[in-house]
Structure 1
Amino acid sequence: MEKRNIPKDFPVVILAAGEGSRLRKGGNHLPKPLVPLLGLTLLERALLTWKTAGVRRFYVVVGWEGKRVAAHAQELAKRHGLDLEVVENPRWQEGNGTSVLAVKDRTPAPFFVSMVDHVFEPSLVEGFVQQVKDKKSTIIAVDPRVTQVFDLADATKVRLEEDRVVDIGKEILPYHAVDMGLFFCGPEIFQALEKAKKEGDGSLTGGVKKLAAQGKMCAVKLEEGFWTDVDTPEGLEYAQKGLLTCVARSQDEGWISRHFNRHLSRWITARLASTSITPNLVTLLAFALAVAAGCLFALGKLGTTILAALLVQAASVVDGCDGELARIKFMVTPWGAWWDTLLDRYADSAIVLGITWEYSHGHGEAWPWIFGLLSFLAFAMASYAKKEHALRFGHPLPRDAGDKLTRRDLRLFAISVGGLLNRPFPTMVALAAMSHLWIGWMLWRKRKG
């Protein structure tokens, strides 16, 4: 994944000092930063989210169960190669603003601040970083989609005048947005927090309120992407559902993937996330299912053909899990994407070979193999044509009905249905013809300009 170009001296301060008593009411006795969410602790997820956004220097402020959280932070730093410093806040019970003050002598402003219990879709944090990196004032990220906020009653509301914060608090009326727990802080934040602390408010909100009163607090509206605050067991469940939805969301997927496969793949991915199974292993499993389906098609019996048809669709579903798992656990690599693409082509070849082998034995002539070869070329070229077009012309082919009808998810689904009807070969040939026609149409249309 391409890393954004941001100044290296802009670190992020992760506030991880709170007790998290409401989250522990669900029977969870771990410190909040160590609570698992889809295979990663909340602290690990926060660190990797900011790493994805391009940040390279981290301060983790600890308080309750400080030694335990600090040890986990240091282990994560070693595992992921992070430049990380743990900062102890002995006054953590006085409010989360004291955790920001704890880094006053450790890092020069400006710097980012994020809460360990706020979960973000990575693209949202990347967008925030890009919008504020050249700013000089203290900035808070706000979400104007207030009706979509989980547990709005407990959320911190923000009143705005254009891009300036005029008031902030849980009980203010009227309000225009909700505090997202993302900040870009200039040096003025320390003075504001100290002043608020002297007046009995040790929260970060108290400091923000002081800056707002001075006209020195700006806001950036983030209106796309998933985020949530994890304060309760219900909030943790909501975060899991939201993250699974956003990692499975893609403009470049077909009808079957979106409306059928994803409902199953998300369920599988949620269970794989808490295991040591890697995305590359899931890719290999999807390939094995497709190869098994090809072998069963080749046997030519009704029972094995039906089983092969079911395995084809199972392979299609599992093929979506590797990408979901990679994104949900920050394990996306160019090698993994390449591995997935290559095995998809080999898997398609195994299915075509098995179907053609069985049909040729029943007809005893060469023509089934000619149609089998044409089918293999159609399925391979449909994918190749799309990628080559994007590479050569700098933009993808139109996502029209023809594009959707030649996608792998629909192709495997149709072959599965054809197998259940004991007609896999005619189904395969019809799909191949449709792919060749679509490629020809795209070539003609591009040639005509």
Structure 2
Amino acid sequence: MNYAIIAAGEGSRLASEGFQLPKPMVPLCGEMMIDRLIGIFMRNQAERIRIIINENSPELEAHLLELRKDLPIDIIKKSTPSSLHSAFELLDGVAGIDAVCLTTTDTIFREEEFAEFISAFESNADLGGQMAVTSFIDDESPLFVHVNESGIITAFTDSNEMQTPYISGGIYCLRKKAIEVLGKSVRSGTSRMRNFQRQLVAEGIELKAYPFSKIVDVDHVSDIETAESFLSQEHLA
């Protein structure tokens, strides 16, 4: 499996609250978020791990360059206007990527559930994509995910008028046709990841929702404690 990490955000909210290092270097239970993700990917048969960082993260770049000596990491250094544009830089036109698991650096989940998520995607070659969803809502602007009785995604909405239990978890497995839609979406002027997800549905790409019990995003300093408590419970389970 190929993996890709969006680590190009400025982390402005964390910086305004006193955390001065790049966001991917936030420590959780003694391990940087970026290192935790890389470790999980390596334990799930990573062939390559492509990581995009912004142009103002020398500490993060130095750290990843050190890791790259021993791990199959490709680093792209480019500041982008959105996570969708970061995904485009990671995936568009890259030879040899027929399927990929893409996530942002601050998505915290249970490793056991992630391994099952990857196994489910790899065992169903007919899917155009598989997306993590969760019923745990701790997001400032959640994206609601609507599914049919088979778990196939039928719509992404900004409000929950259809009473779905699920929101997007920010972990995306995409096959070649979905990656091609990503390129087309950005070139047409789309500027948000959620609008790309809507375009996937509009173009008939079959997407399966895969429920996680809980996914935590780290956007504020207070989220660090929440994420550490969540990971501590995982280790005790």
TM-score by length of 1: 0.48
Question: Aligned pair in 2 of structure 1 residues 77, 122: CA closer, same or farther (>3 Å)?
Answer: farther
Aligned pair partner of 2:225 in 237, 246, 254: 237
One-letter amino acid matched to 2:84:
G
Question: Aligned pair in 2 of structure 1 residues 121, 24: CA closer, same or farther (>3 Å)?
Answer: same
Q: Does 2:145 correspond to 1:158?
A: yes
One-letter amino acid matched to 2:166:
A
Moved over 4 A (4+): none
Give the equivalent residue in structure 2 for 1:114.
103
Give the equivalent residue in structure 2 for 1:247.
235
Give the equivalent residue in structure 2 for 1:87.
76
Q: Does 2:200 correspond to 1:205?
A: no
Partner SS state of residue 196, structure 2 = helix
Q: Check the 8 A contact 2:51/2:75 in 1, yes or no.
A: yes
Q: How far off its partner does 1:118 sit?
A: 0.4
Q: Check the 8 A contact 2:153/2:209 in 1, yes or no.
A: no
| Structure with the largest fraction of strand | 2
Q: Does 2:16 correspond to 1:25?
A: yes
2:6, 2:137 → 1: CA distance?
Answer: 21
1:43, 1:191 → 2: CA distance?
Answer: 27
Q: How far off its partner does 1:62 sit?
A: 1.3
Give the equivalent residue in structure 1 for 2:133.
142
* Higher normalized contact order (CA 8 Å, seq sep 6+, divided by chain length): 2
What are the superposed Cα offsets for residues 384-420 of structure 1, whole Å, 9 maximum, x if unpaired?
xxxxxxxxxxxxxxxxxxxxxxxxxxxxxxxxxxxxx
Q: How far off its partner does 1:128 sit?
A: 0.6
| Structure with the largest fraction of helix | 1
One-letter amino acid matched to 2:66:
E
Q: How far off its partner does 1:106 sit?
A: 3.0
Give the equivalent residue in structure 2 for 1:188.
177
Partner SS state of residue 68, structure 2 = helix
Q: How far off its partner does 1:64 sit?
A: 4.8
Q: Which runs of 5+ in 1 are unaligned?
A: 1-9, 250-449
Give the equivalent residue in structure 1 for 2:66.
75
Aligned pair partner of 2:48 in 31, 47, 57: 57
Q: How far off its partner does 1:155 sit?
A: 2.4
Taking only the aligned residue pairs, the percentage that are identical comes to 21
Q: Does 2:3 correspond to 1:12?
A: yes
Q: Which runs of 5+ in 2 are unaligned?
A: none
Give the equivalent residue in structure 2 for 1:221.
210
Which structure: larger Rg? Answer: 1
Q: Check the 8 A contact 1:189/1:207 in 2, yes or no.
A: no
2:10, 2:212 → 1: CA distance?
Answer: 30
Q: How far off its partner does 1:169 sit?
A: 4.0
- Size of the aligned set, in residue pairs, is 231
Q: Does 2:89 correspond to 1:98?
A: no
One-letter amino acid matched to 1:166:
T
TM-score by length of 2: 0.87
One-letter amino acid matched to 2:28:
L
